């Protein structure tokens, strides 16, 4: 044994002693994949975020680049912020809740089989009421189709004494559904209310009270007498003097407790002011002598909508949301006549002509314009009913032979007075509702307060009734409210209120905004503006605060 080992030298190498088999080559390639390679598409268009040159039309697994294949801000890709509407979010949220608890919506249905999804839909359909009978139009069992509502829980109601609940049991409060009255249904008023209404209409509840210092002066004259002992003349021709823009507040009347909705000055002289408020009261006050409250007219039980003097100022009309128009004597405060319109009068206007001064027009909330004769009873002389919305304004033109009216239907119509057929209708797709109006002293234009925060002008002195596109007064905010406007007696300036508590003044020719004065520091609406017809720069404003301010 020792002889066999001794035959090999001690420094014999291993490779010389063993016969090695040739190693077999690998049958696959080992490629080190990175995270970018794993997120790379197998085949498709070039990645816009990869800079491989203009010839990179495809992306393969073997391509490599130092640029990132996609922008990432999270581990798995790109998360972007998005915005959806509140309605869309709520709709998706409710759809998720209807499918079950949170998390049992689309995510849960992804792992469901077809059978499980059918069972889920079947359970949801079982929670809704039946579609009804297609042959039944109304009442029990009527056809509702896909609009069937979901079933509501029904509670068992026990009569008193039928079963007494234990001390540890809770009482179920069952609320009965209120009966839904279909739209357009006329609901009869209770009998006591009807009786009271008839009693009030028969007897009348109009009252008046004099609140000045003295009802007569030393010559026996009332406040209707135009003062002649002032520094200025109140009997000169209107518009004979140049007007200017006021700069400061001269006086404030605080006789109303609610917002003022209508403001008028005595015709020609402007020595008296007439105001109506949301509490249904109409008050007349002095402008020059003592500036005191003279008389209060009470008769409306809801807010005043409009006031209108006749040509001489001896009588005036008042309209309110109580659907009544009352004719008052300015001097004595007596209610001369009352007119039941059936709907709320939004605007009332006396005929300014000498022949028809006893007639007036009333624009109602039910799309009609009614013509009345103040000497007659509660009878309609004529009716104009071509508008499609509530009436907003009425302006007499062409020496009172015609009149223009606007409505919430965003149209302007021109009528022959006494003939219930319009001679022209202006209704453009880009028109807004015209809420208030005033006539320019020249008689050639009618200015309208537009709901797009502007004042527009329409020609009224000829047969071509059209809008002057180059004339538009802007710079104030009136959207959503009926803001009053007026012109200076000489026609040089235009004045308007504002929803932010300001009164604005423009030049009529250039439409330039000259001044914007703060009339209400609290930012309340200034809805009424009136310009004195005899003085150069006296302007009266009123609004939501219940105060009447005189500017000079």
Look up the pTM and report it: 0.64
Q: What is the number of other CB atoms lying within 10 angstroms of the CB of residue 329?
A: 14
Distance CA(422)–CA(186), nearest Å, equals 31
According to the model, what pLDDT value does residue 61 have? 44
Distance CA(153)–CA(511), nearest Å, equals 65
Distance CA(174)–CA(409), nearest Å, equals 45
Contacts of 461 (CB under 8 A, 6+ apart): 397, 398, 442, 443, 444, 445
Distance CA(390)–CA(387), nearest Å, equals 8
Going residue by residue through the chain (552 aa), what tens digit of pLDDT does each one get? Answer: 555 555 656 665 555 555 555 666 666 677 777 767 777 767 766 666 665 544 444 444 444 444 455 567 777 777 788 888 888 888 888 887 766 544 445 555 656 778 888 888 888 778 888 888 888 878 888 888 888 887 776 555 545 555 554 545 555 555 555 566 665 566 666 776 666 566 555 545 789 999 988 888 888 899 999 998 888 889 888 888 899 999 999 999 999 999 999 999 999 999 999 999 999 999 999 999 889 999 999 999 999 999 999 999 999 999 999 999 999 999 999 999 999 988 999 999 999 998 888 999 999 999 999 999 988 878 899 999 999 999 999 999 988 999 999 999 999 999 999 999 889 999 998 899 999 999 999 989 999 999 999 999 999 877 788 899 889 999 999 988 899 999 999 999 999 999 999 999 999 999 999 999 999 888 889 999 999 999 989 999 999 999 999 999
According to the model, what pLDDT value does residue 59 have? 46
According to the model, what pLDDT value does residue 184 have? 56
Is residue 286 within 8 Å of 294, Cβ to Cβ?
yes
Residue identified by tokens 């609290």 is 522
Distance CA(159)–CA(119), nearest Å, equals 40
Q: Token digits for 502?
A: 């300001």
Domains and CATH numbers, the chain: 204-551 (2.130.10.10)
According to the model, what pLDDT value does residue 74 have? 76
Could you tell me the end-to-end alpha-carbon distance of the chain, in angstroms, rounded to an integer?
142
According to the model, what pLDDT value does residue 300 have? 92
Distance CA(207)–CA(335), nearest Å, equals 8
Residue 180, CA distances (Å) to 150, 177, 338 in order = 18, 9, 36
């Amino acid at each position: 044994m020792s002889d066999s080992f001794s035959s090999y030298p001690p420094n014999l190498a291993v490779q010389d002693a063993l016969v090695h088999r040739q190693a077999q080559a690998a049958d696959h390639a080992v490629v080190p994949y990175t995270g970018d390679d794993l997120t790379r598409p197998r085949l498709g268009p070039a990645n816009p975020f990869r800079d491989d040159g203009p010839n990179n039309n495809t992306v393969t697994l073997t391509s490599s680049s130092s640029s990132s294949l996609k922008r990432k801000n999270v581990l798995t890709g790109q998360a972007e912020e998005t915005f959806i509407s509140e309605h869309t979010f709520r709709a998706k949220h409710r759809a998720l809740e209807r499918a079950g608890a949170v998390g049992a919506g689309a995510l849960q249905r992804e792992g469901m089989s077809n059978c499980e999804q059918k069972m889920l839909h079947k359970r949801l359909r079982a929670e809704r009421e039946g579609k009804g009978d297609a042959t039944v139009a109304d009442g029990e069992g009527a056809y509702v189709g896909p609009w069937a509502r979901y079933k509501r829980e029904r509670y068992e109601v026990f009569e008193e004494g039928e079963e007494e609940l234990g001390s540890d049991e809770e009482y179920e409060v069952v609320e009965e559904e209120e009966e839904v009255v279909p739209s357009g249904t006329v609901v009869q008023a209770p009998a006591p209310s009807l009786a009271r209404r008839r009693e009030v209409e028969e007897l009348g509840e109009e009252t008046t009270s004099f609140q000045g210092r003295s009802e007569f002066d030393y010559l026996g004259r009332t406040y209707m007498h135009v003062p002649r002992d002032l520094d200025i003349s109140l009997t000169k021709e209107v518009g004979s003097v140049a007007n200017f823009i006021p700069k400061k507040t001269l006086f404030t009347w605080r006789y109303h407790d609610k917002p003022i909705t209508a403001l008028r000055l005595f015709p020609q002289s402007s020595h008296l002011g007439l105001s109506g408020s949301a509490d249904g009261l109409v008050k007349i006050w002095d402008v020059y002598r003592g500036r005191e409250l003279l008389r209060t007219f009470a008769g409306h039980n809801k807010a005043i909508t409009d006031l209108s003097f006749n040509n001489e100022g001896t009588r005036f009309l008042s309209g309110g949301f109580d659907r009544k128009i009352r004719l008052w004597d300015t001097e004595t405060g007596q209610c001369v006549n009352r007119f039941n319109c059936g709907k709320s009068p939004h605007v009332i206007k006396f005929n300014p002509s000498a022949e028809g001064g006893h007639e007036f027009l009333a624009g109602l909330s039910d799309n009609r314009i009614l013509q009345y004769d103040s000497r007659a009873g509660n009878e309609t002389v004529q009716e104009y009913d071509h508008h499609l919305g509530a009436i907003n304004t009425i302006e007499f033109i062409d020496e009172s032979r015609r009149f223009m009216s606007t409505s919430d239907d965003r149209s302007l119509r021109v009528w022959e007075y006494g003939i219930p057929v319009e001679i022209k209708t202006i209704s453009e797709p880009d028109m807004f509702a015209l809420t208030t109006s005033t006539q320019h002293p020249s008689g050639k234009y009618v200015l309208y307060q537009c709901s797009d925060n502007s004042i527009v002008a329409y020609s009224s002195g000829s047969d071509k009734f059209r809008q002057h596109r180059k004339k538009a007064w802007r710079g104030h905010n009136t959207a959503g409210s009926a803001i009053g406007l007026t012109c200076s007696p000489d026609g040089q300036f235009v004045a308007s209120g504002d929803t932010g508590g300001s009164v604005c003044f423009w030049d009529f020719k250039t439409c330039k905004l000259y001044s914007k004065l703060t009339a209400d520091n609290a930012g309340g609406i200034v809805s009424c503006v009136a310009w004195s017809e005899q003085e150069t720069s006296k302007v009266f404003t009123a609004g939501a605060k219940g105060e009447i301010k005189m500017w000079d």
